[in-house]
A and B are shown apart, each in its own frame.
Chain A
């Protein structure tokens, strides 16, 4: 099986888009991460890493402090994303420059896709054919395929 056959349609956002709008796209599509395209290359922001922007740093470093946070105020967390852009999410990710771009050619094999996903530390990769984005492959779909 090739990447083009595994790919599913998924929206792509750009760095200038609002973070909250982008995350709504992510949740409504049920994706494990946000596919970002800046016109030149693709980036993936894993959904779990969005929390790095949403949560105050002192909570991330001391998860036990999260226990004292009352549930009624939990929605304050999303206020940290107000006014933020997708580029802020990408920046907060602080990705290692040495990691490969999370994108594969439509002709890539399943193992090749798995290798890129593992090396780029992302839960989904973009599939590009002839310079045109055709969709994404999520880790769930890939593992399902590998398990047969």
Chain B
């Protein structure tokens, strides 16, 4: 590699270390790194802003932006609080039944919304339910974060790494439903069975407290019925747009933005309030990462990494699938999966280019998605949803330690991987 290529690698590695160690805010690290590679002339502004190969992926940015706006409206309707309380009442307050239904609600919501938003919506109502039932809330909160990471893997919009992969690999919403949804449903079903054993200590409630739960009026949680109806229609239209993407040829980002615009017009909420709901930090983080990774692509560093990986696996399908799946799970267990997937996508593209068998039915892409999405469950810092749920717990006087997380997270991540490996080999090898 050339000196300029090594420089780009060193900058990226430095940024990655800063993000992983949290010594600097991740946005500052990513944008600082992007400024360096542009300032040093490693990438030019045309490459960074206008190139599909080495620049900012505006499809990803605008898809995220559109969905953030949509979620901003829907979250204010109280529908998630309604669903959580309704579920607990359906389970008649039986602890395991409540746990199962909360897992299903969280995983289902995470498939459509981002995981952090989902757990932020479900956690407070979970605390209320546990209070009423006299249950220890920590296992319930943790189960929701784990379920959120599992459910988010199911769809293109469920987890940011999936959005990146879809954009880089030109995969559609339907592709994700065909390839990711079945395995996610299996993992979720096993997780539910496992939860009975995993959280067994927390599933002993006082049956007399169920009456107190049944007294909660979930209908009161809906704050704006007309808005709920309108946003449900718009969300359904967005999903239809996602499903028909191949037929219509309209990019997902455009579908999300049109939906968001429509909701802004139909909603009585002030646009300025909704704009506050946009996670600008996340969008800026993505922008910085795209420029940084673009620099690595530009100097050919990721092609070299792909060649090195191919050297290790001999370019054969089975070892490459396994290395990408398991390697991604291990890396994502300890560091943010967004920069990992951003950097690995060009590597995977390069591996497929050198051996098209690896890309049969998108096999290597699904291995990357499964590893990156599900590996994050292993540790407290492995996924943003985990960090958020620990924060919500702490604010309510509940302390989830790193060790406590490992006790539940490692078995969940190992189980997910143990199911994903034969699935990937069976479908794509």
Q: Which A residues are within 8 Å of any B CB, using their own CB?
A: 56-59, 61-62, 64-65, 67-70, 72-73
Q: Which B residues are within 8 Å of any A CB, using their own CB?
A: 78, 81, 85, 123-125, 127-128, 131, 212, 215-218, 220-221, 223, 392, 395-397
Asked if residues B215 and A70 are in contact (CB atoms below 8 Å), the reply is: yes
Asked if residues B78 and A56 are in contact (CB atoms below 8 Å), the reply is: no
Given A56-B396, A57-B396, do A68 and B217 touch, yes or no (CB 8 Å)?
yes
Residue of B nearest to A69 (CB): B216
List the B side residues contacting A73 at CB < 8 Å: 212, 215
Asked if residues B78 and A64 are in contact (CB atoms below 8 Å), the reply is: yes
Residue of B nearest to A57 (CB): B396
Asked if residues A58 and B218 are in contact (CB atoms below 8 Å), the reply is: no
Q: List 13 A-B contacts (CB under 8 A).
A: A57-B396, A58-B392, A58-B396, A65-B128, A65-B221, A67-B221, A67-B223, A68-B85, A68-B216, A68-B218, A68-B221, A69-B216, A73-B215
List the B side residues contacting A65 at CB < 8 Å: 81, 124-125, 128, 221
Residue of A nearest to B397 (CB): A57
Asked if residues B217 and A70 are in contact (CB atoms below 8 Å), the reply is: yes
Asked if residues A58 and B220 are in contact (CB atoms below 8 Å), the reply is: no
Asked if residues A61 and B221 are in contact (CB atoms below 8 Å), the reply is: no
Residue of A nearest to B126 (CB): A58
List the B side residues contacting A72 at CB < 8 Å: 215
Asked if residues B215 and A62 are in contact (CB atoms below 8 Å), the reply is: no
List the A side residues contacting B396 at CB < 8 Å: 56-58
Assembly CA distance A59 to B396 (angstroms): 10
Asked if residues B218 and A57 are in contact (CB atoms below 8 Å), the reply is: no
List the B side residues contacting A61 at CB < 8 Å: 124, 395
Residue of B nearest to A80 (CB): B131
Asked if residues B131 and A57 are in contact (CB atoms below 8 Å), the reply is: no
Assembly CA distance A62 to B221 (angstroms): 11
Residue of A nearest to B214 (CB): A70
List the B side residues contacting A70 at CB < 8 Å: 215-217
List the A side residues contacting B392 at CB < 8 Å: 58
Assembly CA distance A62 to B131 (angstroms): 15
Minimum Cβ distance to chain B for residue A26 (Å)? 25
Assembly CA distance A56 to B221 (angstroms): 17
Given A58-B396, A72-B215, do A67 and B124 touch, yes or no (CB 8 Å)?
no
List the B side residues contacting A62 at CB < 8 Å: 81, 124-125
Minimum Cβ distance to chain B for residue A89 (Å)? 16
List the A side residues contacting B125 at CB < 8 Å: 62, 65
Asked if residues B395 and A68 are in contact (CB atoms below 8 Å), the reply is: no
Asked if residues B395 and A57 are in contact (CB atoms below 8 Å), the reply is: yes
Asked if residues A59 and B81 are in contact (CB atoms below 8 Å), the reply is: no
List the A side residues contacting B212 at CB < 8 Å: 73
What are the 4 A-B residue pairs with the smallest beta carbon separation, nearest first?
A67-B220, A58-B124, A70-B215, A58-B127
Assembly CA distance A6 to B386 (angstroms): 55
List the B side residues contacting A56 at CB < 8 Å: 127-128, 131, 396
Assembly CA distance A67 to B123 (angstroms): 17
Minimum Cβ distance to chain B for residue A77 (Å)? 11
Asked if residues A59 and B128 are in contact (CB atoms below 8 Å), the reply is: yes
List the B side residues contacting A67 at CB < 8 Å: 78, 217, 220-221, 223
Minimum Cβ distance to chain B for residue A31 (Å)? 29
Assembly CA distance A59 to B395 (angstroms): 12
Minimum Cβ distance to chain A for residue B117 (Å)? 14
Minimum Cβ distance to chain B for residue A91 (Å)? 13
Assembly CA distance A70 to B220 (angstroms): 10
Assembly CA distance A62 to B80 (angstroms): 12
Assembly CA distance A14 to B81 (angstroms): 41
Assembly CA distance A65 to B78 (angstroms): 9
Assembly CA distance A59 to B218 (angstroms): 15
Q: Which of A58, A61, A67, A68 has the most CB of B within 10 A?
A: A68
Residue of B nearest to A70 (CB): B215
Asked if residues B223 and A64 are in contact (CB atoms below 8 Å), the reply is: yes
List the B side residues contacting A59 at CB < 8 Å: 124, 128
Residue of A nearest to B78 (CB): A64
Residue of A nearest to B217 (CB): A68
Assembly CA distance A58 to B84 (angstroms): 15
Assembly CA distance A62 to B122 (angstroms): 11
Minimum Cβ distance to chain A for residue B108 (Å)? 20
Asked if residues A64 and B217 are in contact (CB atoms below 8 Å), the reply is: no
Assembly CA distance A73 to B131 (angstroms): 12
Assembly CA distance A134 to B66 (angstroms): 61
Assembly CA distance A90 to B209 (angstroms): 32
Asked if residues A58 and B217 are in contact (CB atoms below 8 Å), the reply is: no
Minimum Cβ distance to chain A for residue B83 (Å)? 12
Assembly CA distance A68 to B89 (angstroms): 13
Assembly CA distance A136 to B392 (angstroms): 39
Assembly CA distance A58 to B389 (angstroms): 12
Assembly CA distance A72 to B125 (angstroms): 19
